[in-house]
Amino acid sequence: MADNKTGFFKRVFSFGKKEAEIDAPEKLNQPEKSEQEQEQKQIPDLPILPDAPVQEITAPEKSETLPETLETENSEKIDQKKSWFQRLSSGLSKSSSSLTSNISTIFTHRKLDDDTLQDLEDVLIQADLGLETSMAITEKLAENRYGKHIEGEEIRTLLSQEVERVLAPIAQPLKLDFHKKPHVILMVGVNGTGKTTTIGKLAAKLTREGAKVMLAAGDTFRAAAVEQLKIWGERTGSPVISREIGADAAGLAFDAMQEAQDAECDVLLIDTAGRLQNRAELMAELEKVIRVIKKQNPEAPHSVLLTLDATTGQNALQQVEIFKEKAGVNGLVMTKLDGTARGGILVAIAAKHQLPVYFIGIGEGIDDLEPFEAGDFARVIAGLTG
């Protein structure tokens, strides 16, 4: 079914047996199913789900499948027509143009010497790439081109190569194992970083693929947050589990786990209230939510995703550290790469933390979230056009 489809989803989620082998090796020891049993399993309610175990699911082109009800804004319609690379380029234009214009300024009519190398290193550090990557780039340049005239284009190419080298290991697809029923994704992060929006965008991607998705409004502090999630629930046709304002978030998560299991959902996306990483009592509350989820299923949450707002720059590094320690974050989503000059922070985070970055957000719209691609990102940030 999926073999003839190509497109971005291949990079987004992996499904099926391959993943089950990785995540649940004990499944391999189970006896082979009879052909009849397998045949029965081939009549799924949800054709894309792991009942077709050897398939890696790919997505149809967005423009073909986007239901009309989701086309809410003209700007979104226009965006869909552009390729992802173009959209990424325009989203990241502030980051790349400030970087590349500073590089051009340094090298206009100047040779590559100690002064220009130092200036370049400063520019790269200012662009939030981190000391390690900035030094690696300047050292590489010094090795090969010291004392010579060098063109901006050559530096941009080298910059792109070095950035890609750092990012490649952490640009991974989010692997969803639908054998889990549900695969539980807990979304955590500082207030305003894009947790709820990212849940909505992910629910849209998943439901478009036919997955049965449930949402849990775990930000029980704010009525607006619950309403916001309900709107995403309506847009994506996903039921939303919510409680009255002020209710215990852990209790809600517990109930949502039960409901998602009873309803045989494929994915349960649990929202949480935003919290600063340095507020111990709020982090303890998050730990409690996780403990309670584990009471329902010791393997859950299967994915703990941290949303990072690219506009916050260096503070994101500390957020990763603490949320990783306290909440067992095992993947990142970087949001708001549009409209910031600080997109280079992704490179510093990659170099430091080695956590997979599954998605990047480049806008508020339903389609403004895409799987993270190291090569594209590196070329765009270095100001290369193709």
Ligand X SMILES: Nc1nc2c(ncn2[C@@H]2O[C@H](COP(=O)(O)OP(=O)(O)O)[C@@H](O)[C@H]2O)c(=O)[nH]1
For the bound state, the minimum distance from the C-beta of residue 229 to ligand X, rounded and expressed in Å, comes to 9
Give the single-character DSSP code of 366. T
- Category of 328 on φ-ψ map: left (φ > 0), alpha (ψ -120 to 50) or beta: left
Footprint of ligand X on 207-266 (CB under 6 A): none
Closer by beta carbon to Mg ion, 51 or else 219: 219
> Exactly one of 164, 177, 368, 373 binds ligand X (CB under 6 A); which one?
368
Site string for Mg ion, 217-246 (x = CB under 5 A): --x-----x---------------------
Residue closest to ligand X when measured from CB atoms: 361
Closer by beta carbon to ligand X, 55 or else 277: 277
Closer by beta carbon to ligand X, 14 or else 197: 197
Cβ atoms within 10 Å, residue 302: 19
For the bound state, the minimum distance from the C-beta of residue 229 to Mg ion, rounded and expressed in Å, comes to 7
Interacting span for ligand X (CB under 6 A) from 27-35, 77-85, 320-328, 360-368:
360-368
> Exactly one of 202, 286, 349, 362 binds ligand X (CB under 6 A); which one?
362
58 binds, among ligand X, Mg ion, none (CB under 5 to 8 A by kind): none
Closer by beta carbon to ligand X, 87 or else 195: 195
CA–CA gap between residue 8 and residue 119 (Å, rounded): 39
For the bound state, the minimum distance from the C-beta of residue 274 to ligand X, rounded and expressed in Å, comes to 4
Cβ atoms within 10 Å, residue 252: 23
Footprint of ligand X on 183-202 (CB under 6 A): 189, 191-197
DSSP-assigned states of every residue in 100-161? HHHHHHHHTT-BSSHHHHHHHHHHHHHTT--HHHHHHHHHHHHHHHTTSB--HHHHHHHHHH
Helices 152-167 and 374-381: crossing angle in degrees, nearest 10, is 150
Residue 369, C-beta contacts closer than 8 angstroms, at least 6 positions apart:
198, 201, 202, 205, 333, 359, 360, 361, 362
Cβ contact 276:282 at 8 Å:
yes
364 binds, among ligand X, Mg ion, none (CB under 5 to 8 A by kind): ligand X
Closer by beta carbon to ligand X, 177 or else 376: 376
Closer by beta carbon to ligand X, 2 or else 88: 88
> Exactly one of 196, 236, 242, 312 binds Mg ion (CB under 5 A); which one?
196
Closer by beta carbon to ligand X, 119 or else 364: 364
> Exactly one of 11, 87, 336, 342 binds ligand X (CB under 6 A); which one?
336
Q: Where are the alpha helices (DSSP H) in 263-337?
A: 280-296, 315-327
Cβ contact 315:332 at 8 Å:
no
14 binds, among ligand X, Mg ion, none (CB under 5 to 8 A by kind): none
CA–CA gap between residue 58 and residue 126 (Å, rounded): 39
Please name the helix (run of DSSP H) or strand (run of DSSP E) that holds residue 234, with its range, or none: helix 223-236
For the bound state, the minimum distance from the C-beta of residue 220 to Mg ion, rounded and expressed in Å, comes to 11
Please name the helix (run of DSSP H) or strand (run of DSSP E) that holds residue 63, with its range, or none: helix 62-65
Tokens read off for 200: 């909505």
Strands 174-175 and 13-14: parallel
Footprint of ligand X on 261-320 (CB under 6 A): 274, 307
- Residue 116 is a binding residue for ligand X (CB under 6 A): no
Binding residues for ligand X (CB under 6 A):
189, 191-197, 274, 307, 335-336, 338-339, 361-364, 368
Binding residues for Mg ion (CB under 5 A):
195-196, 219, 225
